[in-house]
Structures are given as structure tokens and as C-alpha cells.
Structure 1
Amino acid sequence: MTGVALVSASFAAPAWAADEASSLLHPMFDDHVVLQRDRPVRVYGTAPAGETVRVEFAGRRARARAGDDGRWEAQLPALAAGGPHALVVSAGGRTQRVSDVLVGDVWLCSGQSNMELQVWRALDARAEIAGAGNDRIRLLTVPQVSDVVPRAEFSEAVEWQPVNPDTVREFSAACYFYARELQKHVDVPMGLIDASWGGSRIQAWTSGGALRTLGDYDAELGVLGRYADDAVAAVGDWGTLWQDWWSAREGVEADDRPWGADEASGAWRAAPEQLGAWERWGVPELADFNGMVWYRTTVELDAAQAAQGATLVLGPADEIDMTWVNGRGVGSTYGAGSGREYALPAGLLRAGANTIVVNVLDTYRDGGLAGPASAHALRLADGSRVPLDGGWRYRVVPPELGTPPRAPWQSAAGLSTLYNGMIAPIGRYGLRGALWYQGESNTFEHDRYAGLLRALRSDWRSRFGDDLPLLVVQLANYGAAPTAPTESDWASLREAQRAVAAEDRNTGLAVTIDIGDRYDIHPTNKQELGRRLARVARHVVYGESLPPSGPVPASTSRDGDAVVVRFDDVGDGLVAYGAEGPIGFELCGDAPGSCRYAQASIRSDRVTLQAPGAATATRVRYCWADSPVCTLFDGAGLPAGPFERPVTP
């Protein structure tokens, strides 16, 4: 590797001059790098303050002057696809040379676990890895780091790597298969930047400034700003906000404060001594429970112990905890795999009984506070350890109370944390477009998702270019198939994705409703996903006239006692799989619970729907469930995607 990555927790000036080994170039510019073709190329890095920096590349030259903070940026003229070339930068008598540089199209691939899912976990992985070899596709993986302030550079070294069996194995399968398919139609080098994190919410990938424009996160962002300067005080502020959320829930009694010293209202029961996943406690109510459970215990301290500084040590909590000591919030962490350590403010502990309360939120599979009870303790400043082994009690929270707010500093569930730690360090690197596969972690707040997706799109365009194309992967099918019309958070989020994509000519949608896995939230057929994303790109980014992603509803109108849906973007006609007519359509009134399955028939580019009450239907829904059964395709083998539309006269 040519460059040496500089570690910076913020945009503070680098200690450049003190380190003769420091790189002139930002770590994005390394051997085997791919630069974006057909547009001016921004090159940037650090040098001694005031120093003139000279840049040479493929016969072009540019210069810049390092600012007071040591940072510089130069701009080279637009270049056609090709290479390899060498990038040479010099300043202050020093020269840095980057070799084997290609010029082509560069893609940022981001999102949660279905973007992160590696090639070795994909369909037919052994053959895919063994057959991988393409020097004209280059890979860079952004280290998984969250931060409460924007980083100027990565937390650890990064490098560009040509595709081979060793490098592709751990890389994003969706991103790799996309580029491999696209290169069959767009014959230029491809640079792929994978910045993804399993379980992440969209808010974590959006800058604080962009989130403020929504007006929904001002209080949380205020806490986040304080957290950067005084984490202990900010956690206490967050605890108050969390408590306000709880007290405002319908159905919560005015004196119900589970974080307090007294058990107050609610049915508290003794937890098993070994704790662990509550699904294994033998409690029917918890056998298949995703939601919140309160835990509480007490620990006795003498006066000398209580006077010391202390850290609360907890084992792993699956998957989010909010923790109080003596009624004060002391910490909240996202992630099931690691323990928690929360520094306690001075004066919080007292001689006698001290109450520790933990609220654990679980949204997927096993949940709970890891055991045994002796794994949890107070670690005192004198090095002694007081185990929390006096017995835990628990209380189950009714699901109808909803999902609590997430602490804004949490890694994948916070606000701007992954933008700060993984997007900001990329700098203003030249991109051809971005791929976005995310949403599973936001289904519980689907009503906010459209605004959040627009904010992320605008945010990234402000960094990477006003016309940055965004290719969105619509959520795949997952979960039990429906036996009757139902409301669905997943379907509502898919509708938000569809609507946001449809409103912007530089945004495309890849429909995946037929290639998910109802038993696995991580479907392995990323090859077909790559093909569909490449098809969307050919239409949205490269201007090909092919239908990008299957049939889309163009109009829904009444025809006597029937409703007719007309489709655009139909390749080779509409077809129904497995029956004379397509299934998955519903006709609905205005009232909740009014939807009914409809009989559907195809004629040309139209589907006619009939059902009891069709003459008064006000809405049409299609593929409306977590894991719907829907069989309308076009002759090119692309599915019609889920949608909800009003019926027009």
C-alpha cells in the first residue's frame, strides 16, 4: 500500500509536519484506485500549511495550496475511461506516487446487512469465489466505525484491491455482482466502495445537518452535540428524554416509573439466575417475544465503596439497552455481541441499597440480558468488583406501547453516526452513483421513511454531486405468507421506497419481491439482485430505453363494477405465473380492515379487478404483506412491484 492512513476524530487540523511519513494524498488515493471518468477529478490530501502541492496524472497537471489546517484539494480535467496510469503528487520536496490507476465508473454501495452480506454467504459461493478474477473491477471496503462528529479520514488503513478469489470473498455480494453484470453492458473499469453495516437505520447514514431539516430530531441532535464534549452528562439528559417518551405512552400510569428506586406499578417477577435469552426461560409469554423487557436489581454498598468513582459493567444485551442507576440514565448501547461499561457520575452511588434498572429492546430472534448474574458488576476505582448477583426481577412491556427512541450516539441505530464514521471520511470523492439497500431496521417507523430517504438523497448529493444517481433496492419478501389481507409495516416501507424513487429521474428502484426468502431475512440470491440493479442503472444512469424494473402502475380507474389498473414499463406483455389470472391484488375502502382479495384478469397492459364491494373501492393494493404471494410479471421475467394507489373515477 502506498499511502499511510491518517486517523482523525474530526475535521481538526492534522499534525502533518511532525510526521515525515505522512501521506500527501488522502487514503482514498492508493495503488489500484479507480477515478471517475468524464468529469473533473477532485484530488485531495494534507501537506504542510501554506505549501504548494503539484499533481500530475495522465499528462494533466494541477496545483493547489495547503490551507492553515494543512488540507488541500486540486482539480484535474475530465478524463476518458482507461489506464493504467500513475498519479504523482509533490510538495515541500516530497513526492508520492500512486500506481496502476484506472479511470472508469465508481459506485458507493451502502446500507445494512443485505448490502454487507459477503460473497462467501451468497448463492453458489464456492464457484463464484473460485471463478473471480477481473483486474478491471477494483474493491475498497470502508472500516465499520461510528462517531459522534464527522471524521476527516478513516480510522484504519484502507486499500483498493483488484478482484480475485482472495479479495472478493469478504466483499459485498450485491455490490460485486452488480458491477460484474453492468460491465457486460458498460465496458469500462469499475470501482466499488462498500460502506455498509448490518442492522443500521437510515438516520445513522444521514448527516446531522440533513436530519435537522426534518424537524423531528432536534432534541436528540442536541444531546448528541453535548455527548461529544461530556458523555456522562449527555447520557443523563438522554435518560430524561427517554423517560418522557415512556410517560407519554397511552396506557402508562402517571406514577409508573420503572427506572426508579421502587418497583411501582406493573407485574415484576423473578428472573432465572442464569438470565440469558428470555425465549429460553420457559415463560410462554416470552417464547417468541420481540419487544421490551425491564430488568432490575439492587446492590448494597458501604460508605467507603459508595464514595468511590465507579463503572457499571454489564454483559451483552440483545440488542439495545437503556440503563439507569438510582433513577439516573447512565448508558445506552446498540449491539448484541459486546458487553457494556458505563462510567457513573460522581455522587450517584450511596451507602446502602442502590438500584440498577435495564430496559432491553429486542427486534429479531433471541433477546435479553446475558448471564449469569455474576457477569454484571460495579467496578470501583480501587480495583474491587461488586457483583450484581443479588437476584434480578423482570417485567414485560406490552407491545402496543411501541418502540422507544434510540440513543443518538448508538453506532448503527443512532443519528449521523455512520455518516460521520464511514461517509464523511471518503471526502468529496468522484462517484458515478450510489446503491442503497436498507430499510429492514426502519419498518417500525415506515411513516417517516419517505422523508428520511429524501433527506439522505439530498445529503449525499450535497457531498458527491447534485445529480448523483441513487439506486434503491426495495425490501424483499420475508416472513410468513398471508392468508387474508393484512396491514404490514414492511409493505408500507416498500411503498415509501417506490414513491420516493418515482418522483426523481435520477433515482431508480430494483424490485425484489420475488427473490427474498420467507425464512431468512438475508436472501442469498444476490446474483439476480445484481442483474436487476444493473438493469436499473442502464436506464437511469446510462439512458437506455429498456423498462428498468418491471411493470409499474400508471393509473387505477373504475370501470362499472370493476377497477382497472393500467401498467407502464411492460416488457413483452403482462403474464401471470401459475394461474389464469394474477393473485396478490386487493380492493379496499377508506376504513381499516376493509381490504378484500380481488379476482384479477389480464388484457394487454391492463389488469381488471373484481370483488364484493368493488364499485365503492377507494384503494388498490398489490403485494401488500411482509411476505406476499404475488404472481404478476412481464414477458421479460420482471415482477410488478408492490404498491398502493387510490382509485380515480
Structure 2
Amino acid sequence: MNLKKITLLSLSVLLLFTSNTFAEITLPKILGHNMVLQRQKKVTIWGTAAPDEKISVAFAGQTKNTIADKAGNWSIKLSPMQASFIPREMVIKGTNTIVLKNILVGEVWLCSGQSNMEYAMRKYSKFQTSVKGNKPPEDDLNTANNTNIRIFLDRRKYMEPSPEHLGWDAAIGKPLVDFSVVGYYFAKDLYAKLNVPIGMISAAVPGSRIEPWIQASKLEIEPKLKNGKILDKLKQDDGDTGKFYNTMIQPLIPYTLKGMLWYQGESNCFLTENIRYAYKLKALIESWRSDWKDTKIPFYFVQIAPYNYSGSKDRPITAENLPEFWESQKLALHLKNTGTIAITDLVDSIADLHPGYKWEVGRRLSLLAANKTYGQTNVVYSGPVFQKMKIVNNSILVTFSNTGSGLSSRDGKPLNWFSIAGADGKFVKAKAEINGNTVIVSAPEVQHPYSVRFGWNEAAQSNFINKEGLPAVPFRSDNPWEKLFK
């Protein structure tokens, strides 16, 4: 046999091997053993196979069939299911058969953001001394034993589809070490409230700005304010646009979720962003909802913690830049099915960009979800929120929502971090007194008050709470962006 024939034969064998390899069903990494499927929704199962290959998926007494398209892509939707603690198998058949084991049905949430969301349980285990907002729970890293809470850690350079189906982990032992503290305690508290399996997906990268989490094309917009002014394209801020979306978020789509949690902003706050961040957060929320084909999916986020941003040597930052950033985060509440929690009280030192009370952050997010997603309207999920103000003689009467069972002072001392100004806009420290569900604010220096602010400083850790112990949300009555954002 001459060299040419040997070469052709070798090529034929290689093509046959390659064809058989591509003919096998391949699943995305998010589909695997031990996963939790979302209850009471159609559940998407998808993957790749040979073009026109017949695929069947069997789970929980139902079998669905489909045919891969010309590119080899396929997907099916399982009919909605009730929550189940019974571990069951999913059998996926084509030219090969894949059996995924120990699958539960319950509630599935995605948590994403930067280092404070990524903050792992191994770090939390070293933080057991100080207490704010709640008593620290037991050392779950060593004692957790609830196999009905499942976790999936979305790692960069890991999410490419492959023949391996390692899947999810129970939130116990070694797998819990690197998982998000916020994500875990959200799941733990939610489990106690709902008594159904909980699945948590963590996709977070330390130090990341918001831009890498958004598909590049979705930032090719020039937001138009209500006054007609058009902002520069959001993508002009760069920030490795789409980098983590492409590698960590897109591979999750369209895994069926109940909701999304977001804890990010520190990196953008260092850039003194305000209204531009509001539009970026809006773009992220709307684009992720579009990706999952669910315009109503809940999206809850954390108002970032007090920190000494003005101490930065890289750029001029004032003590008011952080409150302005909080304000820009809150503008996202104009979107339906969004919510936020304040954590101004969960900081021991404003020199610490990573305050350790992450279990309480997770708990507060679970309160938010319990109330707004699961209809437990008796659950108080927020501290006092500015509603309106009224000038009364030489004082300002401030009315709040989310007062819970009443307004209070955490330490029994007069309320702090209130300031007041006249028409000249010069703010001075003010006296603030609780009067029912309102606060009366005044200052001798201001006889004709015009506007009021609360917690308007990066160092502000006020004693103003509701009786459920949740902190009041910083605000300014002279917010210039509220009337311009759309």
C-alpha cells in the first residue's frame, strides 16, 4: 500500500472517529448529578449532538422528545413539577445514554457580582468575634449537614461543555469551603422559611466592574435622560465588556431559575460613577431577563457597604461619592420585581472593603425574597425608606415606608447622621426626633429649611432603625437624578 493510500485511509478513520465523537450527546456543565431543578416552571434541558439526532429526556415520570437542529443543538422543556426531596435520575438518550443521578426539585437562585459576593465560607470561618445585626450562626463550615441545599460554583475556564457530568454538590464539607457565604446563608434561611430543596449557583469574580457581566452589544446604547440629554455610550467606559458574561453567565442560559441576587459596585464606585452606573445596572437586569426569556424574574441587589473611598490616592473622591452611588443603585428599583437591602450597619471599620457579616447579608436577602417573591408579606425585609418630606415652620417632617413595627434608635441615643439646609444648599448637622412613623428634623442655624439628608457620607453608620433591627436607607430629598432617570 503506497503512502497516498495509507494517508487517505488514516484520514477516513479519523473522520469516522470524529463523526462518532460529535454524534454523542454533550451537556453544558450546569446540568449534572445532584442538581436542583426549579419547581412550578417549565424546566429547560439542552445540549449538543449530531445534526438531526433524535433525543429523549426522561425525568419524574415524564419523557420528552426532540431532534437536534442542523448545527447539532437541541433543547426540551420538562413540564412544571412540584417540589420534591426524593432523589431521582434523569435519563438522556441519543446515540449514547447519559444518566444524571440524585436530582431534587425546589427553588433555584443565581448569585453574582464581585468579591463581596464571592467571599467564601473559608474566610467567614475566621470571622467569629464581632456581632452586628444578628447573632452569628453556628460554624456551618464544620457542622452543616443539610443535603437538600445544593451548590454549584461557576468557575472561569470551567464552563465549556464536556463529556464529564460532575454536577453540583451538597452544601456540606469540602465543597462548601469555596462557596459564597452570602449565597449559602440566603439558601439556609430560605430553606427554613419554605422547607423545599434549594439550589444556589455562584458566579462572582473579585474586583470585577459591572461591564464584564453584560453582553457587549447590550452596552452599545446612549441613554436618554428625561430632560432630553443623551449620555455617552455606556460601552465607552470599557471595563472588559462581556468578559465574564461570555465565560460564566452565557453557559448557564437557559437553566431555569427562580431569581437572581447581585452584590457588586465597589469597583465602579471607585470611578465616582452615579447615573451611568444606574443605566448599566438597568442594562444588566433587562438583558439577563431577556436571555432567560423571563421579564418578571426577581432581581435583588445589595447596597454596598460604607468604606473610605475618599482615601483613594488614584483619583479625587469625596465622602459623598458613595452616597451618590447608593442613590444610583436605588434607581434600578424603577424596574419591576427588583429590590434592595441596606447594610450600612454591618461594618466594623470603613477601612475594610470586605466586611465580614456576610451571613447577615444573606439573611436580609432571604427576607426580601420571602416577602416579595414568596408572598410572606408579614416578613419585614427593609429598614425605613424615605417617602416624602413636609416643611413645618422651621422643621422638616420626614415620612418613611418600611417602618415595620415602628421607628427606633439602635442604641437608645438621639438619631444621628441627619442634616438640613435652607435654600442656599448649605447643610448642617441636625436634630432628629421620632414622632410615630415620622421624624422631625431641625437645626437652630436653619430657620427656613428647604431640604434634608440622612446618612449622606461614606462613613455613615447611623443608629436609625425600625424595631426589627434593620437600618434606615440613606437618602437626600434633593436627589437630582430621580426626575431624570428613565
TM category (shorter chain) comes to: 0.7 to 0.9
Distance (whole Å) between structure 2 residues aligned to residue 153 and residue 556 of structure 1: 55
* Aligned position for 1:504: 335
Equivalent residues in 2 for 1:447-462, closer than 5 Å: 447-462=275-290
* Aligned position for 2:451: 619
Q: Which of residues 88, 91, 96 in structure 2 aligns to 1:88?
A: 91
Q: Which of residues 206, 218, 225 in structure 1 aligns to 2:214?
A: 206
Q: CA deviation at 1:576?
A: 1.4
Q: CA deviation at 1:19?
A: 2.0
* Aligned position for 1:478: 307
Q: Which of residues 184, 196, 201 in structure 1 aligns to 2:204?
A: 196
- 1:516-539 deviation per Cα after TM superposition (whole angstroms, max 9, x unaligned): 232311011111111111101111
Distance (whole Å) between structure 1 residues aligned to residue 201 and residue 44 of structure 2: 17
* Aligned position for 1:535: 367
Distance (whole Å) between structure 1 residues aligned to residue 176 and residue 397 of structure 2: 47
- 1:290-334 deviation per Cα after TM superposition (whole angstroms, max 9, x unaligned): xxxxxxxxxxxxxxxxxxxxxxxxxxxxxxxxxxxxxxxxxxxxx
Pick closer, same or farther for the CA change 1:481–1:588 going to 2, 3 Å: farther
* Aligned position for 1:577: 410
Q: 8 Å contact 2:309–2:319 — kept in the other structure?
A: no
Query: Secondary structure of 2:261's match?
Result: strand
* Aligned position for 1:513: 344
Q: 8 Å contact 1:43–1:74 — kept in the other structure?
A: yes
Equivalent residues in 2 for 1:581-592, closer than 5 Å: 581-588=414-421
Pick closer, same or farther for the CA change 1:195–1:586 going to 2, 3 Å: same
Specify the code of the residue in structure 2 equivalent to 1:42. Answer: T
Q: 8 Å contact 1:583–1:631 — kept in the other structure?
A: yes
Distance (whole Å) between structure 2 residues aligned to residue 214 and residue 590 of structure 1: 34
Pick closer, same or farther for the CA change 1:90–1:158 going to 2, 3 Å: closer
Q: CA deviation at 1:165?
A: 1.7
Q: CA deviation at 1:447?
A: 2.9
- 1:195-233 deviation per Cα after TM superposition (whole angstroms, max 9, x unaligned): 000111111111122211346675957xxxxxxxxxxxx
- 1:344-363 deviation per Cα after TM superposition (whole angstroms, max 9, x unaligned): xxxxxxxxxxxxxxxxxxxx
Distance (whole Å) between structure 2 residues aligned to residue 572 and residue 219 of structure 1: 42
Equivalent residues in 2 for 1:352-367, closer than 5 Å: none
Query: Secondary structure of 1:144's match?
Result: coil
Q: Which of residues 256, 260, 278 in structure 2 aligns to 1:434?
A: 260
- 1:484-522 deviation per Cα after TM superposition (whole angstroms, max 9, x unaligned): xx7521111111222322x23411111101002323110
Query: Secondary structure of 1:209's match?
Result: helix
Query: Secondary structure of 2:241's match?
Result: coil
Distance (whole Å) between structure 2 residues aligned to residue 610 and residue 67 of structure 1: 69
| Greater Cα radius of gyration, structure 1 or 2 | 1
* Aligned position for 1:422: 248
Pick closer, same or farther for the CA change 1:199–1:495 going to 2, 3 Å: same
* Aligned position for 2:131: none
Equivalent residues in 2 for 1:62-461, closer than 5 Å: 62-82=64-84, 83-92=86-95, 94-122=96-124, 123-124=127-128, 127-145=139-157, 153=161, 159-214=167-222, 408=238, 413-443=239-269, 444-461=272-289
* Aligned position for 2:477: 645
Aligned Cα RMSD in Å? 2.7
Distance (whole Å) between structure 2 residues aligned to residue 154 and residue 426 of structure 1: 14
Q: CA deviation at 1:577?
A: 2.9
Query: Secondary structure of 2:325's match?
Result: helix
Distance (whole Å) between structure 1 residues aligned to residue 247 and residue 162 of structure 2: 8
Q: CA deviation at 1:479?
A: 2.7
- 1:601-625 deviation per Cα after TM superposition (whole angstroms, max 9, x unaligned): 0011000000245454443221111
Q: Which of residues 526, 546, 563 in structure 1 aligns to 2:396?
A: 563
Query: Secondary structure of 1:184's match?
Result: helix
Distance (whole Å) between structure 1 residues aligned to residue 328 and residue 163 of structure 2: 34
Equivalent residues in 2 for 1:38-49, closer than 5 Å: 38-49=40-51
* Aligned position for 2:327: 495
Q: CA deviation at 1:446?
A: 2.3
Specify the code of the residue in structure 2 equivalent to 1:28. Answer: I
Distance (whole Å) between structure 2 residues aligned to residue 418 and residue 589 of structure 1: 47
Of 100-109 and 153-162, deviating more is 153-162
- Residue correspondences, number: 434
Specify the code of the residue in structure 1 equivalent to 2:403. Answer: V
Specify the code of the residue in structure 1 equivalent to 2:303. Answer: Q
Q: Which of residues 380, 397, 408 in structure 2 aligns to 1:547?
A: 380
Q: 8 Å contact 1:111–1:436 — kept in the other structure?
A: yes
Query: Secondary structure of 1:32's match?
Result: coil
* Aligned position for 1:357: none
* Aligned position for 1:227: none
Q: 8 Å contact 2:221–2:235 — kept in the other structure?
A: no
- 1:340-379 deviation per Cα after TM superposition (whole angstroms, max 9, x unaligned): xxxxxxxxxxxxxxxxxxxxxxxxxxxxxxxxxxxxxxxx
Pick closer, same or farther for the CA change 1:544–1:177 going to 2, 3 Å: same
Q: CA deviation at 1:39?
A: 0.5
Specify the code of the residue in structure 2 equivalent to 1:491. Answer: P
Q: Tell me, which stretches of 5 or more residues in structure 1 are unaligned?
A: 1-14, 222-404
* Aligned position for 1:50: 52
Q: 8 Å contact 1:16–1:46 — kept in the other structure?
A: no
Q: Does 1:468 align with 2:297?
A: yes
Query: Secondary structure of 1:73's match?
Result: strand
Query: Secondary structure of 1:183's match?
Result: helix
Pick closer, same or farther for the CA change 1:16–1:168 going to 2, 3 Å: farther
Specify the code of the residue in structure 2 equivalent to 1:182. Answer: L
Pick closer, same or farther for the CA change 1:614–1:69 going to 2, 3 Å: farther
Q: CA deviation at 1:67?
A: 1.1
Distance (whole Å) between structure 2 residues aligned to residue 46 and residue 643 of structure 1: 50
Specify the code of the residue in structure 1 equivalent to 2:53. Answer: E
Query: Identity rate of aligned residues, in percent?
Result: 31
Q: 8 Å contact 2:26–2:163 — kept in the other structure?
A: no
Pick closer, same or farther for the CA change 1:58–1:618 going to 2, 3 Å: same
Pick closer, same or farther for the CA change 1:459–1:480 going to 2, 3 Å: closer
Distance (whole Å) between structure 2 residues aligned to residue 418 and residue 154 of structure 1: 19
Structure richer in strand, relative to its length: 1
Specify the code of the residue in structure 1 equivalent to 2:297. Answer: L
